[in-house]
Structure 1
Amino acid sequence: MNLTATSVKPSTSVSFPPRVQFSRLRPSTLKCSMEVGGLDSDGREFKSADEMWADQVGDSNKKTDWYRRGVGYWEGVEASVDGVLGGFGHVNEADVSASEAFIKTLLSELFPSDARDSQRQLVALDCGSGIGRVTKNLLIRYFNEVDLLEPVSHFLEAARESLTPGYHDKHQATNFFCMPLQEFTPEKGRYDVIWVQWCIGHLTDDDFVSFFMRAKAGLKPGGFFVLKENTARTGFVLDNEDRSITRSDLYFKELFSRCGLHLYKSKDQRGFPEELFAVKMYALTTDVPKKVHRTRSKVHANIPRIIK
């Protein structure tokens, strides 16, 4: 999906505004007519996702071309924040701020305080890392080690140059993997968190499921995924230019179920321009999540609250 949004993405056509890279941002000017169907960026209608995938990747040659064109699009984009965010570099601060609030909540709820305060080394994987924007501005501040996975070589080299050893105290960017999600298999039990932002839209449904099935083995016990991605109001929207698909919330949840993943928490991104697709953050676990019990004072239980 161009993960303009591995990030965010908008599109450069008349119908779509600028985009953000493999997991990057993109505009929401096209709407799907029904949940099971969708549109492409030229306005062509598909009755179902199965129909669209059969048309786009129905044989090995088409599938090879799908991925080749997706990476090819990003190979023509400059290695800068504005480049990977499709001309929407100004959303970087809002993106990082929302992601930080989300990950802080997840770490406090899912990782026991004794584990976080001990000598345990926290390790994260940044999928569709692009130029290292998410690692540099967020992940490296919370994890002792961060590995970066990105198929576009000049993006990854820019990340390597900016994330020099000692960039953030004793935390470091450790491994730089130049390969696409659909070909990557993580080291078993290495990661506490696997962060997938603005890039999963480049994967077909089958490869989406296959990736998460392999990636589950890369999590430590109690580890989890964070998926941050553009969402269509209904169905899906196919971008013909960068070979990516924006899925609806229900579409994502169906795929999560196929992956054997459980939705622990989700949150909407706020503060983005209205012309872009809505962006949603999902925290996914491999086990059925335990409910977090919170107690509140009986005295204050019925006090009216301001509706925001």
Structure 2
Amino acid sequence: MVAATHQREAQSSRQIKPYMLVAGRYLCVNPNLSATHQVLGRCRVKVRSSSRIEMEISGLDSNGRQFKNADEMWREEVGDSQKKFDWYRNGVGYWQGVEASVDGVLGGYGHVNEPDIKSSEAFLNTLLTDLFPNSGRNQHLVALDCGSGIGRVTKNLLIRYFNEVDLLEPVSHFLEAARENVAPENLLVSEDHKAVNFYCTPLQEFTPDSGRYDVIWIQWCIGHLADDDFVSFFNRAKAGLKPGGFFVLKENLARSGFVLDNEDKSLTRSHTYFKELFNRCGLSVYRMKDQKGFPDELFPVRMYALTTETPKRVGPSRPKRQLNRPALIK
């Protein structure tokens, strides 16, 4: 009876489009699924004699089908080279028909742009104060915006704090829109702050230049990577960080286990699921913070600051308010 009810709720939730994708800051809209999954989900970490760690995390897909663990789901979805090729092709293909606008990439929830940027900025300020001398002032800072979409986060946030920002986006018409959106004439920043490189490349195929970035920002895109590619991406990306650099991962959060979207081929993972993957990547969670101010029908969103080692604080313990920063660009 519980399973039948769960399936009906999952199916009915499809009336609200569950945006979960990479190509430009996508939200998950699936309230009944996330709430019900909290009841049904179970998770534990199992260590086998071969030292390979497998996650016994149950989950389900957007049609209500249940999986006993993540390994079962991944075998079905990307279990051979053709399936994996189709997984990534279908994921990007889904968004090739989406309008290159804020409302388009946010799944009709363009009004969450402002609270999203404000929360991200507060989180970034705290990290810069904690981890960089003088909060990063008087330094030439470089960031990578992964899954940059139309340049929404670069334009409204990163370009104001970093002298150079590179944008990584696999959907070509989103990236072309980003070029225009972050062109110098459309920004309220000095000429010392600019978008430099535009990479039309998916995460699973991207390798950054060694030691280029102070911060690698990854928002609403990691759900498209299968677990093995998740780990491979971060292992490559770690080499792209400068000494003392860090990752920010901002992502939708399942209340437990995982939720697979069959339409856009993306996965919403739980905090426990993320922690296990971070361990596999050799990353430490330095700080995390939940997004506030989003509509109740959206999945919870959490921000993680990830480091390759436990960093020493170089600034005061309490972040100071950043002054003389340009205002939010709406």
SS, match of residue 207 in structure 2: coil
Q: Identify the residue that residue 120 of structure 2 maps to in structure 1.
A: 99
CA 1:281–1:124 in structure 2 vs 1: closer, same or farther (change >3 Å)? same
Q: Is the 8 A contact 1:20 1:85 kept in 2?
A: no
Structure-2 separation of matches of 1:189 and 1:295: 27
Partner of 1:173: 195
Counterpart in the other structure of 1:254: 276
| 1:60 and 2:81 are equivalent in the alignment | yes
2:175 is the counterpart of 1:153: no
C-alpha displacement of 1:210: 0.2
Q: Distance in 1 between matches of 2:113 and 2:20?
A: 11
Instruction: Specify the SS of the correspondent of 2:92.
Output: helix
Q: 1:293 to 1:194 in 2, by over 3 A?
A: closer
Deviation for aligned residue 1:17: 3.3
Counterparts of 1:183-202 in structure 2, within 5 Å, are 183-202=205-224
CA distance in 2, matches of 1:293, 1:141: 20
My pick for the range that moved more, 206-215 or 281-290, is 281-290
Q: Pick one of 127, 130, 145 that aligns with 2:146.
A: 127
Deviation at 1:227, TM superposition (A): 0.1
Residues 105 and 18 of structure 1: CA distance in aligned 2, closer, same or farther (over 3 Å): same
Whether 2:107 is the aligned partner of 1:86: answer: yes
CA offsets, 1:198-232, max 9 Å, x none?
00000000000000000000000000000000000
What do residues 148-180 of structure 1 show as CA deviations (whole Å, max 9, x unaligned)?
Answer: 000000000000012113632121000000010
- Other-structure match for 2:130: 109
- Contact 1:20 / 1:84 at 8 angstroms: preserved in 2? no
Q: Distance in 1 between matches of 2:18 and 2:194?
A: 32
1:211 to 206, 224, 233: 233
TM-score norm. by structure 2 comes to 0.82
Partner of 2:28: 26
Structure-2 residue corresponding to 1:14 = 14
Residues 133, 315 of structure 2: 8 Å contact kept: no
Task: Name the SS for the 1:53 alignment partner.
Answer: helix
Q: Secondary structure at 1:30's aligned position in 2? A: helix
> Percent sequence identity over matched residues?
69
- Is the helix fraction higher in 1 or 2? 2
Per the alignment, residue 232 of structure 1 pairs with 254
Residue aligned with 2:263, SS? coil
Instruction: Quote how far apart the aligned CAs of 1:19 are.
Output: 2.4
1:12–1:18 contact (8 Å) kept in structure 2: no
* Inter-CA distance 272–295: structure 2 relative to 1 (3 Å threshold): closer
What secondary structure sits across from 1:237 in the alignment?
strand
State the distance in 1 between where 2:305 and 2:190 align: 27
- Does the Cα contact within 8 Å between 1:12 and 1:19 map onto a contact in 2? no
Q: How many residues are paired up?
A: 284
Q: TM-score, normalised by structure 1?
A: 0.88
C-alpha distance in 2, partners of 1:18/1:140? 29
Change beyond 3 A, Cα 1:222–1:16: same
Tell me how far apart the structure 1 counterparts of residues 12 and 129 of structure 2 sit (CA, whole Å): 39
Contact 2:20 2:268 in 1 (8 A): no
Are the equivalent residues in 1 in contact too, given 2:62–2:261 (CA < 8 A)? yes
Change (3 A) 1:39 1:16: farther
Once the two structures are TM-superposed, the CA of residue 24 in structure 1 deviates from its matched residue by 1.3
- Mapped contact 1:236–1:247 kept (Cα < 8 A): yes
Deviation at 1:14, TM superposition (A): 2.5
The SS at the match of 2:32 is coil
Alignment root-mean-square deviation, CA: 2.0
* Match of residue 299 from structure 1: none
Contact 1:128 1:149 in 2 (8 A): yes
How many angstroms does 1:116 deviate by?
2.3
Shift of 1:40: 0.1
Q: 1:13: how far off?
A: 6.5
Q: What runs of 5+ residues in structure 1 fail to find an aligned partner?
A: 1-10, 297-308
Specify the code of the residue in structure 2 equivalent to 1:30: L
